Amino acid sequence: MDRISWNQYFMAQSHLLSLRSTCTRLMVGATIVRDKRIIAGGYNGSVSGGDHCIDEGCYVVDNHCIRTIHAEVNALLQCAKFGVPTDGAEIYVTHFPCLNCAKAIIQSGIKQVFYAKDYKNHPYAIELFQKANIAVVQVELEALMFEQQDKEKKEFTKVLLNHLEEAGVSKETVDLLAEKARALYSLPENKERV
């Protein structure tokens, strides 16, 4: 059995955290890691005890919801609240950090940012990360790694494609179906049929 990479592991944690978000516009999760250990996590939502977007609607000013605290800041504040140092740590975020989160990340001493999806990547945030010598790496989460019956589904698809081939369906059609299966299962080109 293949183990998932550390980057996939921590990014999965961020995606799991995002499911706790109370923002109806975008669900974001962030995980702070030091020495391959999770030290904090956060998701975007309202201040403790405050109204939530899922209950009251977003409080939008200048196209931004001002009701929420971003996931990255929530994770950083968790570290501050419990006295956990962030200097030299890494952060895994489901979406590219906004400009204000980028500044908070830099000030906290975090040395590497991993993110899954591009989201309004601000040029100044990118510039600030570069000037601060913070490596920014995109790590897309492979959704199928969490699929409980992934191997069975792939094997079933492989058997179906073989039966189609044996039944005389043209090679071009079977290859096209195999290509669609590869895309569905997010497999690289060089992998076998399914």
- So which residues are the catalytic ones? 72
Tell me the CB-side half-sphere exposure of residue 170, using CA atoms within 13 A: 3
Q: Report yes or no: 75 and 30 within 8 Å, Cβ to Cβ.
A: yes
Q: Which of these, 90, 185, 105, lies nearest to 142 by C-alpha position?
A: 185
Kindly state the helix (H) or strand (E) to which residue 147 belongs, with its residue range.
Answer: none
Q: Name the helix (H) or strand (E) containing 154.
A: helix 150-166
Cα Rg for the chain, rounded, in angstroms? 21
Longest alpha-carbon distance in the chain: 67
Closest CA to 93 of 8, 172, 14, 2: 14
